[in-house]
Structures are given as C-alpha cells and as structure tokens.
Amino acid sequence: MSRLRLTFRCGRAAGFDRAGGLAGAGLLLAVILFFTACRKSPYPGDPVNNQLVILTEISAGDSLKVPVSKSIQVGSGGIISFEKVSSAHVQIFRADGRSWLLKLNTSPDFANDPASIYTAPQRPHSGTTYSLQVQDPLSGTVTAQTTIPPLVHLTGFDTSSDMHAGTPVLNCKFTLLDTPGVDHYYIFEAVKQLVRMGHSFVWKGMRYDYAKTDAQKLYQTVKDSPGVVLRLDTIPRNTFLRLNLFTDDPNVANSQVTSLDSPFRRIFLPSRVFGASYTTSFSVDKKFFQDPTNSSPGIVLVMVKSVSPELYNYLFYYEKYKLDIGSVPTGQLYSPPGNIVNGLGIFGSSSKRQWFYYFDQLK
C-alpha cells in the first residue's frame, strides 16, 4: 500500500512542489492534508487516525475524479502518514436520484499520487446538486454535498505581455457578468500541465497509439491505405506546475490576507463587491511558460472559475493559514473546516472558463 509520510513540527511541512503550489492533484492533497492534520480549531481533540480524507473539486463538463486516502498517526512524535485506500466504494448521486459508481483508476498517471484515484466518465452539470458517499470496510463511511455554480459569463478576455516589478508576466483583462443580489464566488488560477508527445493513427474509425507494439505492426500493414496518417499527439500528464499570479485590484479578498504586492497562488473575488458587471485583471508569472531544455514541455492553462461557497472558503482559509505560519504561535494557528461528514477534507464544485497557451516547442 502506497504511503505518504510527512514529518513535521506542527506548522512546518516537510516539502512543497517546485512551482510553489500544485504539482498535480496528489501533491496538492498532500500539502493540504498536512495543514488539516496540524489543526487546532474547529476540531479540538478530534483523532486524525484512520479517517477517510477526500479533497475533490468536481467541475461542470469535466469527468469525475475523486482522490481517496486515510490518515494514519504514527506514535506521538507528530508524524502523520496518508495511505491510499484501494478498497473504497465511491458513489456520486444527483438530486434527481441518478447515481454513478466511480471505479479505482490504476493508470500509471496516478501512480505517484498519495491518494487512490476513483474515476467515472460522467460529466456533471452547472446548477445541479451532487452528493458524495465513500464507504470503506476499515475506515467507515463519509458523505458530503455540493451544488455546481452557474456557468461563468464574461466578455472581452484580452491578454498582453508586460513586466511586473521586474518579472515578465502575461496580463489577463476581462469583464465578469453577474446577477446583482446573488452571491457568487470567483477564483482565478493558472497552471502549466506537462505533456508527453506521442504518435497515433486512425484505421477504420478507431484510433491507435503507435507506442504499442500491436499498433506498430498494424501500421506497417495499413500505412499505404487512403487516409492513414501517423500524427503527432500532445498527451496531457497528471503533472502540474502552479504559476504565481499578481493583481492590483483592491476588491480581491487576497487584500485581507497580505499586501497586493505579493505573488498569489489564487486570486479570490466575491461577487458582492460588484453588481451586474465588473472589469478586473490579473497577471501570470511567465517563469515556467517555457522549458529551455524542452525536456518537460507543457500547456499553460489560465482559468476563471465560479466556485461553490464551501470550496471558496476552504481554499481561502487554507491560503490564509499557510501565510500565518511563522507569524503567530503554533497553538493559535487555524486550519479550515471542510464539509466531509465523519472524515477530513472538502467536496466542492466549480464552473470555469479556461484558455490554453502553447509556449514550448511541441515536437
């Protein structure tokens, strides 16, 4: 059984990803789990041993993916391990009574995740409520619920290259369109998803991966047939680099945490600060846009999300909690509560608009 072990003095994590943030869902899970286990309130005295841990964001239009792990406290020296849970029964229910069973995904793409990944091809819809139930013979049953926000409406998304305090950045400017009097919660993010290059071809309506021996043999047989062409494919990997963001917008919630001169991993904007429309902007640090060796090419994703309130609050207070470390006594640190009943973590949701940018030479 795969295990991630974090050794810490409460308030200091053993490691972090090289981009200062998300390096795939797995490392985000590991880092957030560390802070969850090292909490004071609102769960004083609660045991963290053998609890199911769920950290999931389902998004409108994306297939379902739920990481499942459990917390293991080792002795009394402050060592917390997070083990994969491969025996779970994972279901998501829709408000109309339909349900989907998520199956354990053994793809090599998830081999290094500290959680077992359960997936299903179904794609949830905006404006719909979903319930999660995870059952494990050893760790019990956890439940949670989330409602996916309405689709993001915006106009005039425009980008330009610039400098921010000597750092090359990509400026993103746009106007959000919203419903006055209704609270929505927006998060802006940017990541670089690494890819691998491969080849494929189509024969009689089926696509074949040329990396497989059987496909190579078939290609040699049919390569002179009409329409058979060996094509270069960009295959996304489950590896991400989180890109730092900057903003001068005084209405973002980040200003409640620290100075806007700081780089941020996420920009938080509640709709209550504006009415029917709001023009804002943020900048993306270009540091990881290009790999000079081209050994780890990738795609830059810029995202504008409308997220559920529980996900917004969890991520916002998680960011605040991290910034508090080292500035206040450990006993006063606060870790965000999630919505996982009888377990740890968060089951949240989002609708998003995203833009893809290719800066590496994909060949």
Between 1 and 311, the more confident residue is 311
pLDDT at 257 over 70: yes
Provide the angle, in degrees to the nearest 10, between the axes of the packed helices 24-37 and 309-324.
70
Lowest mean per-residue pLDDT among 232-241, 274-283, 310-319: 232-241
Instruction: Please tell me the predicted confidence (pLDDT) of residue 25.
Output: 41
pLDDT tens, 142-198? Answer: 999 999 999 999 999 999 999 999 999 999 999 999 998 899 999 999 999 999 888
Please answer whether residues 350 and 146 qualify as being in contact, where contact means their C-beta atoms are separated by less than 8 angstroms. Answer: no
What distance in Å separates the CA atoms of residue 277 and residue 268, rounded to the nearest whole number? 16
Which one, of 338, 349, 266, 347, lies nearest residue 35 by Cα?
338
The pTM of the full predicted model, rounded to 2 decimals, is: 0.83
Which one, of 356, 175, 351, 195, lies nearest residue 275 by Cα?
175
Name the β-bridge partners of 53.
69, 344
What distance in Å separates the CA atoms of residue 344 and residue 142, rounded to the nearest whole number? 9
What distance in Å separates the CA atoms of residue 164 and residue 281, rounded to the nearest whole number? 13
Please answer whether residues 287 and 243 qualify as being in contact, where contact means their C-beta atoms are separated by less than 8 angstroms. Answer: yes
How remote is the C-alpha of 188 from its chain's centroid?
Answer: 12
Cα dist. 86→5, 22, 36, 239, 277 in Å?
18, 23, 22, 21, 46
pLDDT tens, 7-25? Answer: 333 333 322 233 333 334 4
Residue 42 preceded by cis peptide, ω within 30: yes
Instruction: Please tell me the predicted confidence (pLDDT) of residue 311.
Output: 96
Instruction: Please tell me the predicted confidence (pLDDT) of residue 8.
Output: 34
Amino acid at 90: V
